[in-house]
Amino acid sequence: MLSYRHGFHAGNFADVLKHIILVELLEYVTLKDKPFDYIDSHAGAGWYKLNSEQANKTAEYAAGIGRLVAEDFPELQPYFSLLYPDGKAIGKRPVLSRYPGSPAIAKHYLRSRDRGWLFEIHPTDYAALHKLMAGDPRMRLSGEDGLQGMMGLLPPVSKRGLVLIDPSYEIKSDYERVIEQLIKAHHKFATGIYALWYPVVDRERIKRMERQLIGAGIKRMQLFELGLQPDTTERGMTAAGMIVINPPWTLFEKMQKLLPKLVEKMAPQTGTYRLEVLAGEDASPPLPRQRRNTR
């Protein structure tokens, strides 16, 4: 049995980056009046209590969402409105009692003809997710392996797809397997949008993942990373990122403005960010291939 529980980490800086990008992608795919399939290979529980024993044990959210005030980020209004559906965030430092996971965010965006496919292997989180989605005809849940499940759905019936791959990387071989499956998925459905989350615990491992994806000949791919500390050889996650295949044209420019602001709020002394076009062109005007900020 795997031991990872996302409740310990909900709302941390890595979740904030992931969910800001997920919101951008969902805003983009719902611009068109055509149905799409949302696939969440590692869905988690859906919502997380920030005042739970789990969350308070690590209090990771305090160094993540706890550092952000909605009024400093008017460009993130759609993201903040999910955290504060009653609009209380404006002008206040967030005192959140709960934080949404990726399925809750998707649930907000899916229209009646869209479909959500959610995979969660942990029985407790699966049960919570099941309760959250009960009676929602747009959602399909499964307790099977998410990467295998995802593969069986591609290409989606709608021919439009957004796939979030957000593993817990508990087993070292997960890094290899995730990339292998992502490349296969892209072969089956090259026009889909894929967002792969990764933690930076060992920089070399991430560099290897990037090289493998670039080597696979994917045509458009960008990377966005946020770190609270510079790389280290000690144990623990210092940064986290998202690799997006077939990103919306506006994403790079938006993240270019946003990442330094996030660093400023979350870790002004030690924070880092990366913004990189791994393949293809980014939005015009042409931008440098990589920005790195390590203070």
Binding stretches for ligand SAM (CB under 6 A)? 2, 4, 6, 18, 42-44, 101-102, 119-122, 125, 145-146, 166, 168
Distances, alpha carbon 166 to alpha carbons 61, 99, 217, in Å: 18, 17, 22
Q: Of 94 and 199, which CB lies nearer to ligand SAM in the complex structure?
A: 199
Amino acid (one-letter) located at 26 = L
Write down the catalytic residue from 166, 174, 202, 231. 166
Q: Least Å distance between CB 148 and ligand SAM? A: 8
For 134-279, where are the alpha helices, taking DSSP H only? 146-152, 174-188, 203-215, 251-266
Q: Least Å distance between CB 198 and ligand SAM? A: 11
Question: Which residue is listed with tokens 């992502």?
Answer: 182
Q: Of 15 and 282, which CB lies nearer to ligand SAM in the complex structure?
A: 15
Q: Least Å distance between CB 102 and ligand SAM? A: 3
261 contacts 20 by C-beta, under 8 angstroms: no
Q: Least Å distance between CB 251 and ligand SAM? A: 18
Nearest position to ligand SAM, beta carbon: 101
Query: Bridge partners of 48?
Result: 99
Diameter of the chain measured on Cα atoms: 49
Which residues are within 8 A (CB) of 85 and not within 5 positions of it... i.e. 6 or more apart?
none
Question: Pick from 82, 93, 99, 77: which is nearest to 12 by CA?
Answer: 99
Amino acid (one-letter) located at 181 = Q
Q: Check if 282 is active-site.
A: no
> Any idea how long the chain is?
295
Q: Least Å distance between CB 134 and ligand SAM? A: 18
Q: Of 205 and 291, which CB lies nearer to ligand SAM in the complex structure?
A: 205
235 contacts 56 by C-beta, under 8 angstroms: no
Q: Of 114 and 120, which CB lies nearer to ligand SAM in the complex structure?
A: 120
Q: Of 57 and 292, which CB lies nearer to ligand SAM in the complex structure?
A: 57
* Active-site annotation, residues: 166
